[in-house]
Amino acid sequence: EEIQRETAYPDGKVEKVLKNGCHLIFFPNGTWKKVGSDGKTVTITFFNGDVKQVMPDQTVIYYYADAKTTHTTYSDGLEVLQFSNGQIEKHYPDGKKEITFPDQTIKNLFTDGQEESIFPDGTIVRVQRDGSKTIEFNNGQRELHTPQFKRREYPDGTVKTVYVNGQQETKYVSGRVRVKDKDGNIIMDTKL
């Protein structure tokens, strides 16, 4: 672009005004700033390679050169971080966070302390504030983990529970209940 005028300041700063209306400001430390002809689009390229862009809608895009990470802040408060490994984090104004990992697993962190992870195979893991966990498998099975037991529910209605003492209880749809001790010995079986 053609330069309309150039001004050198005593502090070493140099400002160039281009014919298209852009302003370029060069600082002695190697940082430079470009103000677009609209006066609203600003790009600052720092001496360390970081780049900060302010868009007309007040969206701020900051690129951290060393970490190869981009941090975008939108005018509505949404913040999006994009890491060099492909991980993307969204921080919502209400405090919720959504993390998409390189393997496409999505983890949601809610403001009330609950978590939800959605795996590429369709498995969903939900963790409550009390630490209990529900796992929904893509084959229709569900698992519930609490400090007292682990319970698996099968699509046919069968429910198998393993207690912390090792005792196992299986309830079948037919009404049959089978209980085994920690060593796998049957201690009760109500075959119907």
Residue 140 Ramachandran class (φ > 0 left, ψ -120 to 50 alpha, else beta): left
Write the CA distances from 188 to 13, 151, 158, 172, 182, integer angstroms.
87, 18, 17, 14, 13
Distance CA 171, CA 160 (A): 6
Does this model's pTM top 0.95? My answer is no
DSSP letter assigned to residue 114: -
On whether the CB atoms of residues 165 and 155 are closer than 8 A, the answer is no
| pLDDT, tens digit only, all 192 positions of the chain | 799 999 999 999 999 999 999 999 999 999 999 999 998 999 999 999 999 999 999 999 999 999 999 999 999 999 999 999 999 999 999 999 999 999 999 999 999 999 999 999 999 999 999 999 999 999 999 999 999 999 999 999 999 999 999 999 999 999 999 999 999 999 999 876
Greatest CA separation found in the chain? 97
pLDDT of residue 180: 95
Answer yes or no: are the C-beta atoms of 184 and 167 closer than 8 Å. no
Give me the sign of the Cα torsion angle 182, 185, 190, 192.
positive
Cβ neighbours for 33, distance < 8 A, ≥ 6 positions apart:
23, 24, 25, 27, 42, 43, 44, 45
Smallest CA-to-CA distance from 2 within 30, 25, 21, 27 is with 21
Q: What is the CA radius of gyration of the chain?
A: 29
User: For the chain, first and last CA: distance in Å?
Assistant: 89
